Amino acid sequence: TQLGLISPICRLTEFQNQPSITKRPPNLLLTRYLSSCISRDATPDQFIMDEFIKYDEDPQCILRLVNSELQDSYSAMFCLTLECYIRNISLDNFSPNIFGSPVKWILSNENRFQSLDLWHYDNANFVGIENKRSQFNKVRIIRFHYCSTAFVTNFLNALKAVAFTIDTIIFDNIQFDEQCSILFINYLQSATLFSSLKNMAFLSCSCTSMPFRNLAQHCFQTSEKLESFTADNCDIDVCDMLLEISESENKIQHVSVRKNFGKTVISPNETIISNTILTVDAGECEWTEDSFISFISAICRRLRRSPLALIIDRTTIEVEWSEIFERLPIESYMPILTELNISWNKFDDRAF
């Protein structure tokens, strides 16, 4: 019925005489910022003016603010929330002394942002962060890049009582100490912020108080709604990690363990890939011959109903691929894989 009404509606004159879409006014963001400063009797910040001039010349969906200390972030953040293009805000050691104020505008106030990236923070002042958020705030992704453990710990403590959720958290080059590790694991179970977490990623991370594998194990075991788990370049054994995931009760669908190693040999009676997993990315890993053969065999020896995509590009193995193919018990394999990516692997002549 609704589709049938489209044609009569389109014939109405008020819909036919709509003005053409105009271009973005020049210096829009800068003008808004200066107007806000004037209305608040505040002095415009030269760094913000320069950044907004750059943005007005070439509007992008990502805005990165780097190494500047503001006295007041109200005017700058107010104007950014009005921008229709910006989807990601990246703060690179930006205004750590009033850090809580811009974060409040990003995580709690009405805006069109979707993600927040935090770069190179050693510590910050978290005063100003609010526990509630606007229903028109859609920020669901938080990423930490090269931040100190103290900063991550304080950030988690500052958001432990918030009444909103995110669905993705990413740690990039973070070294977890004992306090931060335990805190994060506890908050995964108790904090509202992580109650709907679907995606968790660790990129080039390490742990000082325990093997990183143990931290990762606690993380995906305490996140019941997790759909995607990444632990790239974290010095873990691929087989051990996949065995831990398969033994857990969660329903992870996508696993990435790139740039790690494989030394563990999987026994014939062990299940390495649970039926819920749809994608395994083990590219750029270093393998022993026995471990790699047991890995492929463990995947292909059991039937499953769900499709499975396996990525093993740029693989490093201690023997030639032809020797691997000769040792694989292909006659006992099941038609499991629906996608296989073996790009950038150097095959010798005998492999073909």
pLDDT, greater one: 16 or 280: 280
pLDDT value at residue 20: 56
Angle between helices 46-57 and 28-39 (to 10 degrees): 150
Average pLDDT over residues 116-128: 95
Question: With contact defined as beta carbons under 8 Å apart, do 346 and 322 qualify?
Answer: no
pLDDT in tens, 167-183: 999 999 999 999 999 99
Percent of the chain with pLDDT over 70: 93
For the chain, report the end-to-end CA distance as a whole number of angstroms.
Answer: 60
The DSSP-derived string for 291-324 is HHHHHHHHHHSS--SS--EEE-TT-EESS-HHHH
Q: Of 16-25, 125-134, 179-188, which range is least confident?
A: 16-25
In the three-class reduction of DSSP (H, G, I as helix; E, B as strand; rest coil), residue 158 is classed as helix
Average pLDDT over residues 215-231: 92
Question: With contact defined as beta carbons under 8 Å apart, do 202 and 237 qualify?
Answer: no
Reference 330, options 285, 300, 306; nearest CA is: 300
Mean pLDDT of all residues belonging to the chain = 90
pLDDT, greater one: 258 or 349: 258
C-alpha to C-alpha distance for 237 and 141, rounded to whole angstroms: 28
Q: How many CB atoms lie within 10 A of CB 6?
A: 9
CA–CA–CA angle 165, 171, 176 (5° rounding): 110
> CB within 8 A of 13, min separation 6: which ones?
none
pLDDT in tens, 126-172: 999 999 999 999 999 999 999 999 999 999 999 999 999 999 999 99
11 — pLDDT class (breaks 50, 70, 90): low
- HSE-up of residue 122 (Cα within 13 Å, Cβ side): 1
C-alpha to C-alpha distance for 302 and 272, rounded to whole angstroms: 10
Within 4-85, strands assigned E span: 62-66
3 — pLDDT class (breaks 50, 70, 90): very low
pLDDT value at residue 5: 46
Which amino acid, one-letter code, is at 225? K
pLDDT value at residue 17: 59
Question: With contact defined as beta carbons under 8 Å apart, do 30 and 52 qualify?
Answer: yes
C-alpha to C-alpha distance for 329 and 220, rounded to whole angstroms: 32
